[in-house]
Chain A
Amino acid sequence: MAFATKSLKAQHHQFANPAFQLDVLQQPLHGEPFPLFSERLQQHGLFPLRPVGTTILQVNVGKMCNQTCRHCHVDAGPDRKEIMTRDTLQLCLDVLAQAPQLTTVDITGGAPEMNPDFRWFVEELSKLNRQVIVRCNLTIILANKKYHDLPLFFKENWVQVVSSLPYFQASRTDAQRGEGVFEKSIKALQLLNEVGYGKEGSGLKLDLVYNPSGAFLPASQKSLEAEFKRRLRSGYSIEFNNLFCITNLPVSRYLDYLVESGNYESYMEKLISAFNPAAAANVMCRNTISVGWDGYLYDCDFNQMLELGVEPGAPQHIRDFNLAQLDARNIVLNQHCYGCTAGAGSSCGGETAG
């Protein structure tokens, strides 16, 4: 299959429409409907799913990206113009200043660094003394001269860098993320290592994210981490801290890929048969609130892309943020949630059932 450089939205593709995606998730194209995720939770005493105390504010600062990865649930790309404004970023800072329970700020995108107010936001966050995570796609560091100093900028602000590298070889990485991405990612990792990231004793954390390049589930985090460390060290002298294994969720481009390749039903069956109640009890939406580029609130980044806002009655926008009210909400569920509860579980921080 040819690699698309345009987002689904720019192609006016039917999978750019969240309502269409939800229809496909509810009713498979062939065969019987899948068992409802909410019913599966009910069988294990987890329905309605409620927060356990929100500690992470995940801020999606925009859908613009220098890559158009085939599995991207955001449908991000160079043609996406949705960007969080400084006013909305300021609202996030105001919320954080008032809520010390929110100990971690997880900045994602798109490529978050492409938001013109990204550096200002990170600097303001570091004044608030929170753990700041940036989900960096690595290639952005080399994409333009103005980004070359990002490793130093991250270091100066004690940012925890979390970066996708779906495999330790070019073939599978490039098949998912685009031609030449592996080589650039390796170079970027070496630049991060040069300033101390991933090095023992530096205190500068560099974590990698593995997600399968195809219609299969990830292996155990522990065994893959050992293999990644061995291969990246011996092949490229690269050091990193942890490998997070993330299951691909059937949303947006990945859902399109599954349907297009004829793998949709069998992939859903895999997710459903691998349902793990221990993983379900620890899903990330129980301690995270996701903020969209326009300030609206969601239970997670996947719900955000499916335009499934937080439950009606709970504060809907960052300007109305109220942690007590949000912690009392029921989490909005749908069939894609099976992706977070399969096997050892999956979250932005990797496995959840360990």
Chain B
Amino acid sequence: MESTYYNPADLKKFGNITELQPEMGRKFFDYYNEVFKEGALTEREKALIALAVSHAVQCPYCIDAYTSGCLEKGADENQMMEAVHVAAAIKGGAALVHGVQMMNKIKELSM
């Protein structure tokens, strides 16, 4: 067992997940590659969304991959940081909106 849970070198081994379940793995990567092709959204816009989601799910592999991806697709630093703020706003908002639930409960339990 390695001494840390995350190893940067593991990112390039992502494709190896097909070794234990080839068909599902292949289907996943086909789908993944299709998703990131230019469509109604440009590849750059998709890379920025992926970067924001990477922060929301706090995946260091994804942050590494989509920081490079955004630079490669020509996104600038302001766009990238704004994308991270979008993730932070949603994460923060998602916590805070539950404050309404808390307030409802306070009301329910209080005289």
Contacts and interface: CB of A to CB of B under 8 A. Distances in A.
A321 B76 CA distance: 47
Interface of B: 12, 38, 42-44, 68, 71-74, 76-77
Contacts of B38: 223
Given A219-B43, A227-B44, A171 B77 contact: yes
Contacts of B44: 219, 223, 227
A192 B73 CA distance: 28
Nearest to A210: B74
A324 to B, nearest CB: 42
A207 to B, nearest CB: 17
A220 interface: yes
Contacts, number: 29
A167, A217, A220, A224: most-surrounded residue (chain B CB, <10 A):
A220
A218 interface: yes
Main secondary structure of the interface of B (DSSP, over half): helix
Contacts of A223: 38, 42-44, 73-74
A214 interface: yes
Contacts of B43: 219-220, 223
Nearest to B42: A223
Given A223-B38, A227-B44, A216 B71 contact: yes
Contacts of B42: 223
B37 to A, nearest CB: 11
Contact of A169 (B12, B71, B72, B76): B76
Main secondary structure of the interface of A (DSSP, over half): loop
Interface range on chain A: under 10, 10 to 19, 20 to 34, or 35 or more? Answer: 10 to 19
A169 B77 CA distance: 10
A214 B60 CA distance: 20
Nearest to A220: B43
B12 A269 contact: yes
Contacts of A227: 44, 74
A218 B75 CA distance: 11
A167 B73 CA distance: 12
B69 to A, nearest CB: 9
B12, B43, B68, B72: most-surrounded residue (chain A CB, <10 A):
B72
23 contacts: A167-B76, A169-B76, A172-B76, A212-B72, A214-B71, A216-B68, A216-B71, A216-B72, A217-B72, A218-B72, A219-B72, A219-B73, A220-B43, A223-B38, A223-B42, A223-B43, A223-B44, A223-B73, A223-B74, A224-B74, A227-B44, A227-B74, A269-B12
The 5 lowest CB-CB distance pairs between A and B, nearest first, are: A219-B73, A216-B71, A224-B74, A216-B72, A219-B74
A286 B44 CA distance: 33
A79 to B, nearest CB: 31
